[in-house]
Structure 1
């Protein structure tokens, strides 16, 4: 900087030149090391580097660049803290007392003395322009830093701090300040599903082990106890049930290969022509010739024209149905099987339903309850409650069954009843008995319930069993009757009810059929 370029103030020229010479004297090294760069050096550095100054020539160069960076959007909270520290350091350097130059003249604002000059007077600190503004700015940044204390140091804050600068703020607030004022986004709470997953895995493993537990119980040489079955049934109830289409098709294919219920379970003109010597199911050495009179009682072919049925219910007569409230659910099925003409009228209908598509009749009921149809009117009235259902009788299982069964046919024909009489084919029942014997059911004869359930698997796509319960109490240890309408027990040793029920449990766990164990959901 040339001295001649400075304007000469009015007054004594000699004093002004003396002051200029003193200003050009080099500052002592100690003073320079203690104070750092002067304001002039800052200005010259700013001019030399070409960095844009902020607030005048007192802030430029490196500090100016640092300050400009400070006010650009930061990417994390640590950057804001570093910027605030830089501003505070810069303010401390800028606002320290500068060494007062010697002043012999009366230039106002320089040196010591007041008024028109002189060598005496009080000392006055030389504060650089804009220093107060820088201190204020440093305080503001510290406040902002406190506002940002909630920001985690290890997470980028750009998503919270950066906004589109081109977006207009209707209230005139800067976008960065708007984002600072906005609350922090809620941190999503993670659900700790480890316990649930472990519990599900334990339940799945337990359900898989139930098959082996049931097999162990089934294969016991000693008589099985009710409590052992009830414990397994309790565990089965806690396992989710799902129909397994592949298991269903495989089991149905085995039944069809063995027995073919669709073509063979009913005696028809198609599978039993005139002149056939039919063997009885149990008394296999005995035969009955099929003459014209019996042949004309038979349907031309299998009568189930809507086969296969989608949803089928097989309703047993177990006392577990009492107070079950399953009636409405049962009546919604496409096809309903019932066993041994049980009562369905009155209050019991809420538990057992009333819809019936096929019902079996044990000839022993004809002899005992209706005195070999001497009570013909009572029989016809009771049968009328089943609507136009098929009546299925084992006419050719024993020779003693043939007479009562044929009598039922003639009685209903004479009374012009709506029901149609069908007869079990003895060959089908024999083949079915052999099939279940390979599964471990070595009974003298299968129960009607197992026969009908086997037929339903071949006739239907989905099968659900109600009222199958061969136990004297529920899983809650509540005593129940053998049937929902009486407590007459079957002949001891005639059926293998526990083993039959074990087969139902196996089919249930494999997803082939579904067992209803207790009350229905209303």
Structure 2
């Protein structure tokens, strides 16, 4: 990854935010999700609650770690990859993509659940006791929500009104199982690697392109592991009626409403990573070496 993107990719970025943030100017250049500009007190208060800021020692010390990032793509349904996916050292699942009821296809091992408040699973059954919760913070109330989850407190009705959908009321973890994704990884992914335009202030907030959680997770995985695979990735926008996810009835056409994301740009990035053998695509939705069509 570092060789592929040269100065656009920093090998030594810590994957999660640690307590020593005072001197890290890169963390405060932009607002969420690219940084903590104007949120110094909120992130400082949160970090005081988190005793751990890295992988658990048993994983961190493991030689030659293998990661798999499991997307939500409909291509996973019927794949029967569950047993294979369970063999990876680190299994990263995204947002509320369920394990319950789909284990034959997506496995049942979860090392990291990576999401933002509105994406977090509502069912406590989707949080295995030994896994980690990695939060991506996008807006002011996300800090409030995460603090309530870490402290096992009730989220106030006033705060809940600021989310665009129902959010989890409890994450059944101890404080040492929570992590905050380093926003510099998001910044590098968006502005340097994907070459999105820099965020610009407009009257009602910020105009910006933001990477999907999936692409953020793939870049995170390159910082955590020696080998990275993906499964369930790939948007075929030329097939609007095909299933978008493996677990619901949404169709591919729904992606046309996702104006914040640049699906075409992300696909080109993932294709490059697969073709250069930085990442292995287990389901062939990004770059299918065994398909007839030219991808």
Q: TM-score, normalised by structure 2?
A: 0.71
Contact 1:309–1:334 (Cα < 8 Å) also in 2: no
Select the structure of larger CA radius of gyration.
Answer: 1
Match of 1:214 in 2: none
Cα offset, 1:354, TM superposition: 1.0
The 3-state SS of whatever aligns with 1:485 is coil
Tell me, yes or no, if structure 1 residue 496 matches structure 2 residue 262: yes
Distance 1:339 1:284, change over 3 A: closer
**1:314 pairs with 45, 57, 69, which one?**
69
Match of 1:382 in 2: 125
In the TM superposition, what whole-angstrom CA distance separates every residue of 1:325-381 from its partner, at most 9, and x where no partner exists?
1111100111111110321022x1110111111111221235xx75xxxxxxxx4x2
Tell me, yes or no, if structure 1 residue 298 matches structure 2 residue 50: yes
Q: Whole-Å Cα distance in 2 between the matches of residues 285 and 325 of structure 1?
A: 41
Tell me, yes or no, if structure 1 residue 269 matches structure 2 residue 10: no
Cα offset, 1:517, TM superposition: 3.2
Contact 1:280–1:426 (Cα < 8 Å) also in 2: no
After superposing the two structures, state which structure 1 stretch, 417-426 or 320-329, moved more: 417-426
Match of 1:355 in 2: 109
**2:92 pairs with 337, 345, 355, which one?**
337
Tell me, yes or no, if structure 1 residue 483 matches structure 2 residue 245: yes
Q: Whole-Å Cα distance in 1 between the matches of residues 280 and 197 of structure 2?
A: 21
Match of 1:142 in 2: none
Tell me, yes or no, if structure 1 residue 250 matches structure 2 residue 3: yes
Contact 2:34–2:187 (Cα < 8 Å) also in 1: no
Match of 1:55 in 2: none
Q: Whole-Å Cα distance in 2 between the matches of residues 466 and 362 of structure 1?
A: 21
In the TM superposition, what whole-angstrom CA distance separates every residue of 1:415-449 from its partner, at most 9, and x where no partner exists?
86357111123344223322223389997101111
Distance 1:300 1:321, change over 3 A: closer
The 3-state SS of whatever aligns with 2:39 is strand
The 3-state SS of whatever aligns with 2:272 is helix
Cα offset, 1:387, TM superposition: 3.1
Match of 2:136 in 1: 394
Q: Whole-Å Cα distance in 1 between the matches of residues 230 and 236 of structure 2?
A: 16
Q: Whole-Å Cα distance in 2 between the matches of residues 309 and 412 of structure 1?
A: 38
Distance 1:425 1:314, change over 3 A: same
Match of 1:449 in 2: 214
Distance 1:398 1:407, change over 3 A: same
Cα offset, 1:451, TM superposition: 0.7
Tell me, yes or no, if structure 1 residue 323 matches structure 2 residue 78: yes
Distance 1:325 1:383, change over 3 A: closer
Match of 2:190 in 1: 433
Contact 1:441–1:499 (Cα < 8 Å) also in 2: no
The 3-state SS of whatever aligns with 2:278 is coil
Contact 1:328–1:353 (Cα < 8 Å) also in 2: yes
The 3-state SS of whatever aligns with 1:433 is helix
Contact 1:266–1:424 (Cα < 8 Å) also in 2: yes
Q: Whole-Å Cα distance in 2 between the matches of residues 299 and 440 of structure 1?
A: 36
Q: Whole-Å Cα distance in 2 between the matches of residues 323 and 441 of structure 1?
A: 40
**Greater percentage in helix:** 1
In the TM superposition, what whole-angstrom CA distance separates every residue of 1:394-419 from its partner, at most 9, and x where no partner exists?
23x32132222222222289986357
Distance 1:322 1:300, change over 3 A: closer
Equivalent residues, number: 249
Contact 2:132–2:177 (Cα < 8 Å) also in 1: yes
Match of 2:236 in 1: 471
In the TM superposition, what whole-angstrom CA distance separates every residue of 1:122-177 from its partner, at most 9, and x where no partner exists?
xxxxxxxxxxxxxxxxxxxxxxxxxxxxxxxxxxxxxxxxxxxxxxxxxxxxxxxx
Q: Please, which runs of 5 or more residues in structure 1 have no aligned partner?
A: 1-247, 371-378
Q: Aligned-residue CA RMSD in angstroms?
A: 3.6
Q: Whole-Å Cα distance in 1 between the matches of residues 141 and 196 of structure 2?
A: 29
**Greater percentage in strand:** 2
